[in-house]
Chains A and B, each alone.
Chain A
Amino acid sequence: MPHDEAFATARDPARAVTASLLAWVWPGLGHVYLRRRGKALILMGAILALFVLGIFMNARLELHTGLEDPLALLFSVAQMGIGAPYFLARGLGFEAGVVTSPTYEYGNTFTAVGGLLNILVILDALDTARGRKP
């Protein structure tokens, strides 16, 4: 890509916003939009694997919106970081979890870490769209 074209692309705020939103909606989609398909595929696979394994380890996807329990709110935000898969799993009836399951806490950790890692992926897509990363 010629230097002027790369500079103009990096200065396009709509491209950065679109990449960030797509990266939140589905892990890796922002990088697909930015034509980093290999990176997108690996990020998508790893993050979705964390989330799906967490669901099958009986994680809870309960939605906390109030401030009466700030840690539960932060936990919900962490899980929601993965975007559409979170709402899809809730819609499919996986929101309750099984608190008596031996893998319940592992499942919670897997789903929350998947969401938190996707927040890093969103920031990476933003930096890539702005031309700060290759």
Chain B
Amino acid sequence: MHSHLVILVVFSALVATVFAMLLRDTTRQRLSFGVLAFAAFVVSTLVIGWLTNPFPR
């Protein structure tokens, strides 16, 4: 697993799953929270990565 993007997606999915199970009580709430947390992880990482691209050091 040497792709940064694949690692980001796997990490985000696993962490979002745990957060959803701990922070919400019904299946429906867990699903929507998990999808939202996953999207937030991936999108925020890509945005921050893009913003910091001009500053490599």
Contacts and interface: CB of A to CB of B under 8 A. Distances in A.
Partners in one complex: yes
B14 interface: yes
Q: Is the interface of B mostly helix, strand, loop or mixed?
A: helix
A47 to B, nearest CB: 6
Q: Is the interface of A mostly helix, strand, loop or mixed?
A: helix
Given A102-B2, A103-B1, A103-B2, A50 B21 contact: no
Size bracket, chain A contacts: 20 to 34
Contact of A124 (B10, B11, B15, B22): B22
Nearest to B13: A46
B7 interface: yes
Given A43-B21, A50-B11, A113-B11, 18 more contacts: A42-B17, A42-B21, A43-B18, A43-B22, A46-B14, A46-B15, A46-B18, A47-B18, A49-B14, A57-B1, A57-B7, A103-B1, A103-B7, A110-B11, A121-B22, A124-B22, A133-B25, A134-B25
Interface of B: 1-2, 7, 10-11, 14-15, 17-18, 21-22, 25
